Amino acid sequence: MIVEPIFGMMAEFDTPTDIVVAARRTSEAGYKKIDAYSPFPIEELAEAIGFHHNGVALIALIGGLLGLSGGFMLQWWVSTISYPVNIGGRPFNSWPSFIPVTFEMTILFAGLSAVFGMLVLNGLPMPYHPVFNVPRFVRATEDKFFLIIFSSDPKYDAVQTHAFLESLGARSIAEVPS
Amino acid sequence: MVRPTEVEVGEDKVPVLAPGHTFVSLTDKISNIVLKRPIKLGWVFGFLVAFSVMQGLLFGATYLFLKGVGIWGVNIPVGWGFAIVNFVWWIGIGHAGTLISAILLLLRQSWRNSINRFAEAMTLFAVACAGMFPVLHLGRPWLAYWLFPYPNTMGYWPQFRSPLVWDVFAVSTYFTISLVFWFVGLIPDLATLRDRTDNSLIRFTYGALAMGWRGSARHWARYETAYLLLAGLATPLVLSVHTVVSFDFAIGIVPGWHTTIFPPYFVAGAIYSGFAMVLVLAIPIRRFYDVKDLITDRHLENSAMVMLATGLIVAYGYAMEAFMNWYSGNPYDSFLQWNRLHGPYAPYYLALLFCNIALPQILWIRKFRTNSIWLFLISMDVLVGMWLERFIIVVVSLTRDFTTSAWGMYYPTRWDWAIFMGTLGMFTAAMFLFVRILPMISIFELRTLLPEAEVKHE
Amino acid sequence: MMEEKNGKQHLEAVCPSKKDKLDLETARARIAETKGPEYWRSLEELAGSTEFQEMMHREFPKGASEWADAVSRRGFMKLMGASLAMAGMTACTKQPLEPIVPYVRQPEEVIPGRPMFYASAFSLGGYATPVLVESHMYRPTKIEGNDQHPASQGGTDVFAQASILDIYDPDRSQNITYRGELSTWGAFMAAMEQPLIAQNAANGSGIRVLTGTVSSPTLADQFAQMRARYPQSKWHVYEPVNRDNVIAGARMAFGQPVETIYKLDAADVIVSLDADFLYGGFPGVTRYARDFAKRRNPDSGNMSRMYVIESTPSSTGAKADHHLPVRAVDIEPFAQALASGVSSGSQPMSLKGEQQRYLSAIVKDLQNHRGASVVIAGDHQTPAVHALAHAINQSLGNVGKTVFYTEPVNANPVNQSDSLKDLIADMRAGKVQFLLIAGANPLYDAPADLGFADALQSSNIPLRVHLGLYQDETSQYCHWHLNETHYLESWGDARAYDGTVSIVQPLIAPLYGGKSLYEVMALLAGQSEMTGHEVVKDYWRSKHSGVDFDAFWRKSLHDGWIEGTAFTPRSETAKGAAASSSISSLASNAGDNSLEINFRRDPSIYDGRFANNGWLQELPKPMTKMTWDNPVLVAPAMAQRMGLKSGDLVRLDLNGKNLVAAVWIQAGHPDNSVTTFLGYGRSRAGRVGTGLGFDVYPLRPSATPWFTAGANISKTGGTYLLASTQGYQTMETPNGDSRPLVRTRSLEEYKKEPNFAQDDKPPAELTLYPGYDYKSEPYSWGMTIDLNSCVGCNNCIVACQSENNIPIVGKEQVNKGRHMHWLRVDAYYQGDRDNPKAYFQPVPCMQCENAPCELVCPVGATTHSTEGLNDMIYNRCVGTRYCSNNCPYKVRRFNFFLFQDWETPQYKMMRNPDVTVRSRGVMEKCTYCVQRIAEHRIDAEVADRKIADGELQTACQQSCPANAIVFGNINDPNSEVSKLKANSRNYGLLQDLNTRPRTTYLAEIRNPNPELEAQA
């Protein structure tokens, strides 16, 4: 028989509490390459699988600063360098009048970079992913919670990992083909 | 994400979510409206009506482009008529959506979870309606793109001191941010629909839109940050948008426009009319789609209270305006006030005071706040009132400004009405489509309201 | 209309009609029913329509071979007249519309793009207004005043200004027609041969010529020659707006007709007895306005005082220091009392109340200014009033100082209504064999009770010839219609009010061929086949005594007038008898409460001859600001009694005739009196003028053509849309306070408080910004408008419209508030509605230094030039209209539709090539005539000099008869405008807004009689 390459081993849990506890014990047990799936955000879960920092905020900040400076510089350059005209006797660099546009540009750039930053870091869009091969996984977007230990983890061993997951009180356990 | 416990403690109110729901029942209930529920005759009828009213916009715009803005009632001195009134009105309505989804999120008002989705949709459609008017009202609409700063052979640029340019940036930013905010919120629910349908085409569509979302804890973490950031950005944005819109008038020197109180009082008015529109939509929706257990009386009551509060701010705005017109001793301003009360448009001003200030006061009484019929009527009344407010500000101020010899009157033509009604039709038609093809209530955010969603600490 | 009905029958008599209709009929109908500016649009569609195309592509339209049906034939003519791009489409008949002078060899003096100016003269009612005509590549484009001419000194009136539109009017008759059928000059000459031979035998007893008032020496000479050839031929003169009463009054006083000329700059006290001598149409108005303005300067120390006693509010009355509205019938008794008061020196007590108060004050004032006062009687007042005025002026010793008498300018000073009566009598008696009607339209404007139409029909005149600019009401009753040349197309001459002769020289070869009256008269004067040029030149050669005629001729053409032709004043003594002549029946049998009805020439379209002139139709009338209509004016008190609102329809009854017309409530109109205006309700004016307003001619009695008591008015209950450009005519706001738009004081107050106008002038440092440094620029343009001088003559509006290619929009659009005039003249009434003070205020763009409009334009389509102009960049404008909203003066105008006519080739020729023709959706406004500034700047730079003060004039300034508008460089402290801006009367409109307008006003100072003020 052909042995398919294994992507990892997935355990299913019923409640948010179970998955959080299970995840915490898994990482305590020394598993590094793990992940958990839930139908709604659970703050503790990310902690539990040892995921502490995400770069979204930083990206948004940079975007915001770009929008801020770019927005103002555009108006300043246009009104004083590129094509200065006398408008109702106002000075060329009427900076107070430039504030609204500058502000809007800041928001726009910050917002978009937050969203696209999030998508990129999450590697989305990603049409195919091995976990979708697990039939039960459709419940991951409804009411079930899943924990996966990737085969790439050094401690990964088909038999022991299976036993370990059982010990966590998993509802069902499945090997995830890649 | 907000936990039910944090809001429910020690409150004897109607819960934001009727008891007895589970992850499964919630998911079923909401997703079935989209995936399973057959198309009812009522929906078809309603949609067709809205769609045919929308033709007013199409015919109106076509004729407008052929002939010119002369087909409207605008003239000298009244250079701006229905188009700008409608623009301000629609933009204002949009504000409630962003307020609910962003500000209430920051304020951790968990009850917003069940109404933010369609409130955001409402925002998008309202802003879309609003966005058309500044283009339509141009003398040469085909040159509207000149308002954007792009390098061109003339080497000439927009004039950044003009509030209209600020509008362009504010409105387009507002629309973009609202769109992504709404879409980001949809991603997990789209994944849910993807996983629940057995029709491959629908699965493919929602799947493509969900971009392969799988609910990974890492994703959720980044998602939550981005969502919060968006909320944090949308909050000052939504306040800025109507502020900028109010600058269109505040920057002008026309008596009745040139006043510093406009920004706050425009924003309050926007939220006022916005919540009215939310109620006008929510009340029939929860009835026809039988989601009273998800959009409970609690939501209606809260919205009513927001209306009452913002209504009072608006009232304060009017009072302050009237007071300053007298106190400033400026003859033009004091005449403006006289003209509003005794001039040819006085009936509209009085109607505005009734609709926006007098009638809504009955919301102090709980009975009216919880009675959906009354709420619906009052919301309608507020929508009319806020439209009148913009009419009074835009048109009546212009009819009689400084030079008495140039005073005039404004009479809308049938084309003014056709286009205004047309946008109402477009807005309604869009809502009809929305409730059928997307989850009108955020499923994943409602899940978090369930007791079982709580992580118990040993 | 009655005539119309009979006309049809008669016409069938002239040209037996077949019943089959051509498809032209439909086309004709379609044009016929459209009027106003829309008609171009509809014509456009028509041109696109299949039947029109088909018709044009045949050499002759379908059925041309059987030219039977009169109606369709006229339909075709009309279509010819109407059709745009006609010249392009028909190869056979007409000259091309492009410059007539072939351009193979470019004449030296023509520099493409540079206009040239030719002196000529525009005549109205026989009196010439000397003009300079601007010509771009042989196309006359603009009328300006002839500043060298003693009678004009640079000013014009509205009619002269607007005449440029007439020459290009596509409705003008473009062909000679016989019985409505296309014909030729040759055919006409041939047709004349036999009849003239016959007349030769009969001493011309059958020849009658009917013209309008003629002052042309050449024409007079031609008529003399005609009478020499045909001793019994007759020359009849009739114009509905004639000076019969003036002549009759002169005969009363002097036993012979004389021309009365006033020297207003020598008059300390002016008394007008119903004379509107400051508005276009009054002989010598341009000079009078200028002289009047000269003496209205409060700083000069010799400001004149004017009393106006008048029967309907006029711009002259508005300028009066004391204005007394009385019925026209009450003027004569007033004049009587005034005369006896002045002559006896005693205070007459013959009048009641207000009139007596004014009378005694005026008498006293006049006596204190013997030899420095003038009493002017209105053209329409009774002969007695004129005689009395002569007597008063004489006993005051004004004759020779402020009043001068010369021989009449009118070459044939007969009583015109008698002249017309004679003609009609002869026609009835069948004495007329050959009738030439030239430049008159009696079918429309002859008093109905004379029955000219009937006479023309009943009497069988074998040969009726009509010479006219249009196929009008009269032409349809004449066998021959000769299309007349416009004065800018033909040679001629005419006298100004002081007798000075101007040679009328053509600027362009006739657009549609055509003949001038000189050329037609050549036939009867035995100068057959002589061109107008030859006729005129020969006449003056015969008159010329000096050696070098050609030099004389060239000089006369160049200057625009002939040296030494001005009449020399003669001494006349008014018979005292006239003064004591008893009140004429007209006045005496009018009880105080019997309703008087006045018939006046229309301020815009005169007697109806300008009905097809869109500029004049849309020109707001000075007091009512009414456009496109002639409502009946009623007093506020009367309106209140009858429960009338402006726009209500009333029925006027007079001697069994009646008229239903709309009313307009006019403050300052005398009670128990209504004023109607002639010239409207025309049935064949052209597509602009046909069917507008109400025709009052049928109501007008020949015996008392100007006013008569005993009329009846009754409310019909209907209403009518009236389009006025100024809905709100006072500076008082309804909440009881008042806005300082027109700033005014009495002379006394002004002396006490000279700076009253500047109290709210914001200090220069009142700004957040470092101001733009205009001082360092070579030029900073500015304008002052002296409200004291402005006489509200509307001239600047038309001048601006002509200079800047401003379109007309039509009654409906005006009513919506979309008229396009860059410069408007506001009229404000103040105080007692029965006798208010009235003020005029011309409002162009203020060219604010802190322009609110510029700040709000999102695309920078309106910006500020270094010379301080608020520039409008049409092709950048996207049409947000924000600038207009933010303009406190509301001087910006918006093209809500495609108002401008882009198709008609004639109009393309008319336009000023230096000014962009604006399209739909674009904002426009006064530019201080930036094209003229540019032109002069270029000249100056080429010559390496600065633009001299006064060398550069805006269109409104150039033609202002009163010199009220001054424009120039405010960086030059010695420029006139700088000096005026330094005047203490100088103020900016709404200057408290700190817009820093470049256009400023000089406050209006009135010089009331303390005596009258005290009691008032």
Cα atoms in the Cβ-side hemisphere of radius 13 Å centred on B344: 11
Phi, psi of B268, deg, nearest 5 = -60, -45
In this prediction, residue C970 carries a pLDDT of 93
pLDDT digits (tens, 9 = 90+) for B315-365: 999 999 999 999 988 999 999 999 999 999 999 999 999 999 999 999 898
Pick from B165, B218, B456: CB nearest A101: B165
Asked if residue A128 has pLDDT above 80, the reply is: yes
Asked if residue C26 has pLDDT above 60, the reply is: no
> If you search the block for the tokens 């910004």, which residue do you land on?
C769
* Comparison of pLDDT for C760 and B243, the residue scoring more: B243
Cα angle C470-C472-C478, degrees, rounded to a multiple of 5 = 105
Whether the Cβ atoms of residue A131 and residue A24 lie closer than 8 Å to each other: no
Interface test with B, best of C625, C742, C828, C880 (most B CBs within 10 A): C880
Rg (CA), chain C: 28
* Comparison of pLDDT for C23 and C771, the residue scoring more: C771
Q: What percent of chain C has pLDDT over 70?
A: 87
pLDDT digits (tens, 9 = 90+) for C125-157: 889 999 988 888 888 999 998 888 888 888 899
pLDDT digits (tens, 9 = 90+) for C84-97: 334 333 333 343 34
Average pLDDT, chain A: 87
Window 242-261 of B: residues touching A by CB (8 A cutoff) are 244, 247
Average pLDDT, chain B: 88
Cβ contact (<8 Å) for A37 and B221?
no
pLDDT-based confidence at residue C971 (cuts at 50, 70, 90): very high
Pick from A21, A97, A122: CB nearest B219: A122
Pick from C767, C771, C863: CB nearest A87: C863
pLDDT-based confidence at residue C585 (cuts at 50, 70, 90): low
State mean pLDDT over C720-732: 89
pLDDT digits (tens, 9 = 90+) for C303-361: 999 999 999 999 999 999 999 999 998 898 888 888 888 887 666 667 778 888 898 88
Asked if residue C886 has pLDDT above 90, the reply is: yes
Average pLDDT, chain C: 84
Asked if residue B211 has pLDDT above 80, the reply is: yes
- How many angstroms separate the CA of residue B164 from the nearest CA in chain C? 6
Helix (H) or strand (E) holding C600: strand C595-600
Report the DSSP pairing between strands C673-677 and C595-600. parallel
Q: Report the candidate in C730, C607, C713 with the shortest Cα–Cα distance to residue C659.
A: C713
pLDDT digits (tens, 9 = 90+) for C444-480: 999 888 888 888 877 788 889 999 999 998 988 889 9
Pick from B157, B225, B240: CB nearest A56: B225
Asked if residue B197 has pLDDT above 50, the reply is: yes
Whether the Cβ atoms of residue C308 and residue C324 lie closer than 8 Å to each other: yes
In this prediction, residue C831 carries a pLDDT of 87
Cβ contact (<8 Å) for B168 and C858?
yes
Pick from B137, B141, B253: CB nearest C852: B253
Cβ contact (<8 Å) for A88 and C850?
yes
What SS3 class is residue B359? Answer: helix
pLDDT digits (tens, 9 = 90+) for B56-109: 999 999 999 999 999 999 999 999 999 999 999 999 998 888 888 888 888 877
d(CA C331, CA C359): 11
What residues have CB less than 8 Å from B20, skipping those under 6 apart? none
Asked if residue C62 has pLDDT above 70, the reply is: no
- Provide the β-strand partners of residue C237: C211
In this prediction, residue C589 carries a pLDDT of 57
pLDDT-based confidence at residue C806 (cuts at 50, 70, 90): very high
In this prediction, residue B317 carries a pLDDT of 92
Search chain B and give the residue with CA nearest A75: B160
d(CA B55, CA B314): 34
Greatest Cα pair distance, chain A, in angstroms, is 87
Search chain B and give the residue with CA nearest A18: B455
- How many angstroms separate the CA of residue C726 from the nearest CA in chain B? 6
Q: Does B145 touch chain C (CB under 8 A)?
A: no
In this prediction, residue C32 carries a pLDDT of 55
Of the ranges B114-128, C33-47, C542-556, which is most confident? B114-128
pLDDT digits (tens, 9 = 90+) for A55-98: 889 999 999 999 999 999 999 999 999 999 999 888 899 899 99
State mean pLDDT over B381-399: 94
Helices within C778-822 (DSSP H only):
795-803, 811-816
State mean pLDDT over B398-411: 92
Whether the Cβ atoms of residue A120 and residue A60 lie closer than 8 Å to each other: no
* Comparison of pLDDT for A6 and B161, the residue scoring more: B161
Asked if residue C44 has pLDDT above 50, the reply is: no
Asked if residue B376 has pLDDT above 70, the reply is: yes
Asked if residue B415 has pLDDT above 60, the reply is: yes
CA distances from B91 to A74, A162, C172 (A): 27, 57, 55
> If you search the block for the tokens 């020439």, which residue do you land on?
C601
Q: Does B341 touch chain C (CB under 8 A)?
A: no
Least confident of B195-204, B426-435, C939-948: B195-204
Cβ contact (<8 Å) for C876 and B156?
yes
Helix (H) or strand (E) holding B346: helix B346-353
Query: What are the CB-based long-range contacts (under 8 Å, 24+) for C399-403?
Result: C399/C571, C399/C572, C400/C569, C400/C571, C401/C263, C401/C266, C401/C371, C401/C372, C402/C262, C402/C263, C402/C264, C402/C266, C402/C267, C402/C371, C402/C372, C402/C373, C402/C374, C403/C260, C403/C261, C403/C262, C403/C263, C403/C374
In this prediction, residue B456 carries a pLDDT of 77
pLDDT digits (tens, 9 = 90+) for C887-921: 999 999 999 999 998 888 888 889 999 999 999 99
Least confident of C174-188, C357-371, C579-593, C679-693: C579-593
Interface test with A, best of C765, C766, C768, C772 (most A CBs within 10 A): C772
Cβ contact (<8 Å) for C879 and B78?
no
Q: Does B169 touch chain C (CB under 8 A)?
A: no
Q: Report the candidate in C393, C415, C314, C381 with the shortest Cα–Cα distance to residue C587.
A: C381
Cross-sheet strand order for the sheet of C434-438 = C181-183, C176-178, C480-483, C463-468, C434-438, C207-211, C234-237
State mean pLDDT over C249-272: 91
pLDDT digits (tens, 9 = 90+) for C617-658: 999 999 999 999 999 999 999 999 999 999 999 999 998 899
pLDDT digits (tens, 9 = 90+) for C497-512: 999 999 898 888 888 8
Search chain C and give the residue with CA nearest A90: C769
Q: Report the candidate in C242, A103, C418 with the shortest Cα–Cα distance to residue B238.
A: A103
In this prediction, residue C507 carries a pLDDT of 86
Amino acid identity for residue C148 in this structure: Q
Helix (H) or strand (E) holding C839: strand C837-843
Q: ipTM score of the complex? A: 0.90
In this prediction, residue A52 carries a pLDDT of 79
Phi/psi-derived region of residue C961, left when phi > 0, alpha when psi is between -120 and 50, beta in every other case: alpha
In this prediction, residue C18 carries a pLDDT of 36
Q: E strands along C378-449, which residues?
A: 403-406, 434-438
d(CA C951, CA C957): 12
In this prediction, residue C576 carries a pLDDT of 57
